[in-house]
Amino acid sequence: MAKQEEIRVPDIGDFNDVEVIEVLVAVGDTVTEEQSLITLESDKASLEVPAPRAGRVIELKLAIGDRVAEGAPLLVLEVDEAPAESVASAPASSSVATEILVPDIGDFDDVEVIEVLVAVGDTVVEEQSLITLESDKASLEVPAPRAGRVIELRLAIGDRVSEGALILLLEPAGGAVAAPAPPPAEAATAAVTPAPAEPARAVPRDAPLPAVEKQGFRRAHASPGVRRFARELGADLGRIDGSGPKGRVLKEDVKSWVKKTLSAGAPAVGPASGAGIPPIPEVDFSQFGDIERVDLPRIKRLTGPHLLRAWLNLPMVTHHDEADITAMEAFGKSLKAEAEQRGVRVTALVFIMKAVVDALRAYPQFNAALSVDGQQLIYKKYFNVGIAVDTPNGLVVPVIRGVDGKSLFDLSAELAELSGKARDGKLGPADMQGGCISISSLGGIGGTAFSPIVNAPEVAILGVTRSRMQPVWDGSAFIPRLMLPLDLTYDHRVIDGAAAARFCARLCQTLGDIRRLLL
């Protein structure tokens, strides 16, 4: 016996007036339960709406481009219902227990059970944690795939399990019959009188949300089957990058994320810890006025993640100092004629490079790198200096090698050549590798101080801003001196404040009397 049922848009979170970007079925199509019907897209995410039950589409109530909210008519579905007497004939006492198994936990076998979070007789809700598993790298809670009452536990603390191991027997909620699912061809005819629509199998608003059912989970672009799979593993869809069309999260993406999370030693479930950084919400700026979208230059797209990684992983501190470069400036001017004959221009930067190498020799921990496990320092026996170059497309850092063995004129020529290649976009990967320390100079632009970001895996970077004449007390009078601001940012895991102060003192001493490079 067939009946018609109007299917409406389910609870889609705190979204109203959401655009329909895809209609995935047509009139006459036969759909199965959980099959996607339409795709909605807000300014932040896409969401597929599944069919709450099987049936045949006899009327569509919306089209691509329509804007809908929760409760809007979606389509009319013709569903079959079993005769009432077939329901009455089912024995009331035929409640069947369901076996709850360990779901797919990636490439992990023989994982220890460290907590059993329920007991025989407990009533559990869908997504409630049942047990906690622990590998040698991370812990993972296994949630209940459905509600019910625990009638038997099949494991205990200390047991070691793998995918498919039996956790417990669950009596369906209310002692309802848990009859085996009918074959797909008979699913429509075997269904009893349909209950009210259970849209997208969302957690009811009045029920406590599980740890992973956050805004990011609800807004993620994924099919109902993938959402169910992610909930079984306790994976947060809001933190998984999708590899499918339009960024859709696939089952393989969920598996990869779980494996990566367990291998990295981070918990796969539960709310974000101190290391979990909430994303900046997207804003529709067009609502405030005219806007223009321009692609971020490729250099900035590539360097941005590197800078963010360094910022998040390195405890960075910046030490500020000033060097008296009055004599150095005079010496540089005296070289102007000879430099012109050689076709180069000697700037303060080449003197700074030489002084930095002298300080690296005196304090070798600045010419080192920290091993990945954080247990060893790797000292470098060479002196390569990276120079940050401003280009129309963004900042790049070519590396000048063997600074200790080159003259001021050699360094000036090489610096001019690399800077030209950087501005023309002709630097190769080899030109930007192998640095020991970097220098970022804003002297040609201005400023009094700044805090540069360490170019990891280096452990320090020197910032330089514009020099200026200042009155300096010499013990009896104020005299005008050309002072150069220096800003040394360092990785505090390797370098402490006292070492940074000594490094800068050495640097200032050398720049104050450039003859010290001959010692």
Catalytic residue IDs: 492
DSSP of 189-223, one letter per residue? HH--SPPSP-GGGPPPTTSPPPTT-SHHHHHS-B-
Residue 268 contacts residue 262 (beta carbons within 8 Å)? yes
What is the enclosing helix (H) or strand (E) of 422?
Answer: helix 408-423
Residue 365 contacts residue 377 (beta carbons within 8 Å)? yes
Nearest CA among 261, 207, 208, 204 for reference residue 230: 261
Residue 207 contacts residue 78 (beta carbons within 8 Å)? no
Nearest CA among 472, 500, 471, 469 for reference residue 486: 500
Distances (CA, A) of 121 to 52, 99, 155, 356: 31, 15, 15, 71
Residue 407 contacts residue 373 (beta carbons within 8 Å)? no
Judged by phi (left if over 0) then psi (alpha if -120 to 50, else beta), residue 158 lies in left
3-state secondary structure of 342: coil
DSSP 339: H
Q: How far apart are CA 452 and CA 15, in angstroms?
A: 41
